[in-house]
Amino acid sequence: MRLRPSVDAAPGRSPRQAIPFLLPALVVLAALVLYPLVFSLIRSFFDASGEKFVGLGNYVETFTDPRTLIAFRNNVIWVVVAPAAVTGIGLILAVLTERIRWATAFRLVLFMPMAISLFASGIIFRLVYEEAPNQGVVNAALVGVHDIFSPASQYPGARPRDGYAATEAGFTAIRPSRAGDTITVPLIGHPPQDVPPQALPASPPTAGAGELRGVLWLDVSIGGRAGAVDPTERGLPGVAVEAVRDGKVVARTTTGDDGRFTFPDLGAGDVTVRLPPENFALPFRGLTWLGPSFITPVIISSWIWIMTGFAITFIAAGLSAIPRDALEAARVDGATEWQVFKRVTVPLLSPVLLVVFVTLVINVLKIFELVFVIAPGSVQSEANVLALQMWQVSFGTGGDQGAGSALAVILFLLVAPAMLFNIRRFRRERS
């Protein structure tokens, strides 16, 4: 990738003829880019009103303001993580696409996010990471996987009406029972329409010698007597019940379709009936992706989705310029594909990788829209970045154009090395 050789104009042409060609562009650039740059620099030394000179006051304020410091921290995270990730993923995928026939189609798909707005991409990922598992696909997938390994409880949130204490180990009966007793466990807090279809009407058990018997049913208070088994009420099948003696589980059983349960061989002595918590565990709802702890990684992931296609295409163009002979020579010498990749491809590509990397760093420093759209208002301060903070301070809630100008100048200074990098590369390519 080189510039075409530079040319000199034909001698004898008057420089004045350049003026009409250059004038429109120069006027616009001078008025709307260069003059503003100087203005911002000067403005950054004045206070919010623009009348009082404060020297470096705005900069001091900027570097002590906790909101801006978070923005700085996030920009550092972005710069350290995101460009390297995209360059690495881009390199691997670009090398892999050399081995498939549908490389063009593949690159087209991955390049597509570059064509749409960051705003639209932001909405796309806000939807992807939406917390409710019935809206966000990531949490839906997480919940799906989670429920395979630990199935959801049958009666989430249900609890005994009274006579039981909620403990770590589950709902524990306040009064002890013994063999020969019958107990009733009225359960509330479960929607009647969600009772399993095989449930049968509940009825209190009769006492049996040497056995502890009981019934566990859904106690509907409306249209029934609280705490008593009414004819219309149904037993709750499949609830685990434990008998505990001296802190140890001595027997364990599960309710039948009519809600009845029996402990046959308890022996002598009191036991405490306990309903273990897995019966009533609330369902797993996924993670709060858009909350304060995950917000920056989430936004970075969306940026990776956007920029990877660019990296692949750029690197692939560089790959095609690598002489095939070099690769083949290494293969003939018995190098494995991995060695070829590490010892030949990557070193030969390093100038291209550097350009990609620098480009991505510049892009990352200016990141604005993605944070603006993906981070919900309440966590925007946690996801804050400099470009967003500059807008907030100058035009959003802040209204302080002195501090805003200081942030703009800082942003300019941060991209200045990239500016020099470009100029040097440009000069080198010309000579």
Partner 1 sequence: MTAVADEVRIDVPVSGTPKRGVLTRAVSRLGNGVVQVVLALVAVFWLVPVFGLLIASLRDESANTASGWWTVFTRPAELTLENYADLVANQAVWQSFLNTFYIAVPATVLVVVMASLASYALAWIEFPGRETLTVVVVGLLVMPIQVALIPVAKLFGALGLFGTITGVVLFHVAFGLPFAIFLLRNFFTGIPRDLIEAARMDGATEWVIFKRVILPVAKPAIASLTIFQFLWVWNDLLVALVFADQDSAPITVALRAQLRQFGTNIDMLSTGAFLSMIVPLGVFLVFQKYFVQGVLAGSTK
Residues 59-118 that bind partner 1 (CB under 8 A): 93, 96-97, 99-100, 105-106, 108-118
Return the number of the residue (106 or 294) whose C-beta is nearest partner 1. 106
Stretch that binds partner 1, among 64-72, 160-168, 211-219, 363-371 (CB under 8 A): 363-371
**Judging by beta carbons within 10 Å of its beta carbon (0-12, 13-18, 19+), is residue 274 exposed, middle or buried?**
buried
Stretch that binds partner 1, among 53-61, 64-72, 158-166, 360-368 (CB under 8 A): 360-368
Among 355, 381, 382, 398, binds partner 1 (CB under 8 A): 355
Identity of the amino acid at 270 = D
Instruction: Collect contacts of 87-92 with beta carbons under 8 A, ≥24 apart.
Output: 87/311, 87/353, 87/356, 87/357, 87/360, 89/304, 89/308, 89/311, 90/308, 90/310, 90/311, 90/312, 90/314, 90/315, 90/356, 91/311, 91/315, 91/346, 91/349, 91/353
394 touches partner 1 (CB under 8 A): yes
Measured distance CA(327)–CA(95) in Å, rounded: 12
Among 56, 165, 198, 426, binds partner 1 (CB under 8 A): 426
Among 124, 281, 287, 335, binds partner 1 (CB under 8 A): 124
Among 47, 362, 381, 382, binds partner 1 (CB under 8 A): 362
154 touches partner 1 (CB under 8 A): no
User: Of 43, 133, 26, which is closest to residue 390 (Cα–Cα)?
Assistant: 43
φ, ψ dihedrals at 142, nearest 5°: -60, -45
Footprint on residues 286-345 left by partner 1 (CB under 8 A): 305, 309-310, 313-314, 317, 320, 324-325, 328, 331-332, 337
Return the number of the residue (52 or 366) whose C-beta is nearest partner 1. 366
Measured distance CA(379)–CA(74) in Å, rounded: 13
Q: Is 393 helix (H, G, I), strand (E, B) or coil?
A: helix
Measured distance CA(86)–CA(311) in Å, rounded: 7
Footprint on residues 168-227 left by partner 1 (CB under 8 A): none
Return the number of the residue (252 or 331) whose C-beta is nearest partner 1. 331
Q: How far is the CB of 151 from partner 1 (least distance, A)?
A: 20
Return the number of the residue (111 or 200) whose C-beta is nearest partner 1. 111
Q: How far is the CB of 409 from partner 1 (least distance, A)?
A: 7
Return the number of the residue (24 or 66) whose C-beta is nearest partner 1. 24
Q: How far is the CB of 281 from partner 1 (least distance, A)?
A: 23
Footprint on residues 234-273 left by partner 1 (CB under 8 A): none
Return the number of the residue (239 or 319) whose C-beta is nearest partner 1. 319
Q: Is 24 helix (H, G, I), strand (E, B) or coil?
A: helix
Q: How far is the CB of 269 from partner 1 (least distance, A)?
A: 52
Q: Residue 53's beta-bridge partner residues?
A: 46
User: Of 203, 211, 216, which is closest to residue 181 (Cα–Cα)?
Assistant: 211
Measured distance CA(123)–CA(128) in Å, rounded: 9
Footprint on residues 2-61 left by partner 1 (CB under 8 A): 2-11, 13, 15, 17-18, 20-22, 24-26, 28-29, 31-33, 35-37, 39-40, 43
Interface with partner 1: number of residues (CB under 8 A): 114
Among 353, 356, 379, 383, binds partner 1 (CB under 8 A): 356
Q: Is 164 helix (H, G, I), strand (E, B) or coil?
A: strand
Q: Is 353 helix (H, G, I), strand (E, B) or coil?
A: helix
Q: Is 78 helix (H, G, I), strand (E, B) or coil?
A: helix
Among 159, 161, 252, 425, binds partner 1 (CB under 8 A): 425
Measured distance CA(255)–CA(267) in Å, rounded: 21
Measured distance CA(307)–CA(289) in Å, rounded: 21
Among 368, 381, 382, 398, binds partner 1 (CB under 8 A): 368
Return the number of the residue (150 or 320) whose C-beta is nearest partner 1. 320
Q: How far is the CB of 80 from partner 1 (least distance, A)?
A: 19
